[in-house]
Amino acid sequence: MSKVELYKRLHAQLKELLEGERDLIASAANFAALIYHGLPEVNWAGFYFIKEGQLVLGPFQGKTACTRIELGRGVCGTAAQRRQTVIAADVAKFPGHIACDGASRSEIVVPLIEAGELFGVLDLDSPTPARFDANDQAGLEEMAATFVQGTDRTTPES
């Protein structure tokens, strides 16, 4: 199955998971599990949400992760600050990379934006160098948009 076909299948599954459920945390947890188990060569998939001006860990699948990330720091903070998807083919060469899991070699981070306001990021890591490409970016951005539209942007702190 091609990446494009795989993302179409995962996107359809995400829509089913979101149907009738608008809770941010519940939907993020299911989305992270869907990606983690549905995409090959992924060793971490999850969310960071903006709280008090920094990214704070949300639902995820994989090894334990960094709890807080400053905007502009590492791949997640850079994607959040730029408000655009960032692909790091080799995380060791990414300026300010934060090594939460030493096995990770590449990463893609998609910002979550609603009504022009950044409220978090979707983060995926892989133990394979250069794992993520334009097909991953397109598929994940489309799924992230569906997630943003299909959930209420409230967190337990809100």
pLDDT digits (tens, 9 = 90+) for 51-104: 999 999 999 999 999 999 999 999 999 999 999 999 999 988 887 767 676 778
Residue 158 resides in a domain: no
How far apart, in whole angstroms, are the C-alpha atoms of residue 21 and residue 48? 20
Is pLDDT larger for residue 155 or for residue 33? 33
Which pLDDT belongs to residue 101?
67
Residue 157 resides in a domain: no
Which pLDDT belongs to residue 157?
45
Which pLDDT belongs to residue 13?
98
Q: How far is CA 23 from CA 18, 20, 38, 68, in A?
A: 9, 9, 22, 22
How far apart, in whole angstroms, are the C-alpha atoms of residue 13 and residue 68? 30
Instruction: Kindly state the helix (H) or strand (E) to which residue 14 belongs, with its residue range.
Output: helix 3-18
Q: For the chain, how many structural domains are there in total?
A: 1
Encode pLDDT of 14-56 as tens digits. Answer: 999 999 999 999 999 999 999 999 999 999 999 999 999 999 9
List the domain range (segments joined by +) for residue 65. 3-150
Residue 121 near residue 111 (C-beta atoms within 8 A): yes
Please give the average per-residue pLDDT across 98-127, as a whole number. 90
Residue 32 resides in a domain: yes
Assign residue 137 the CATH number of its domain. Answer: 3.30.450.40
Residue 156 resides in a domain: no
- The rounded percent of the chain whose pLDDT value lies above 70 is 94
Strand order in the sheet with 44-51: 68-70, 54-62, 44-51, 117-126, 106-114, 86-88
Token pair, residue 60, equals: 């995820």
Q: How far apart are the first and last CA of the chain?
A: 41
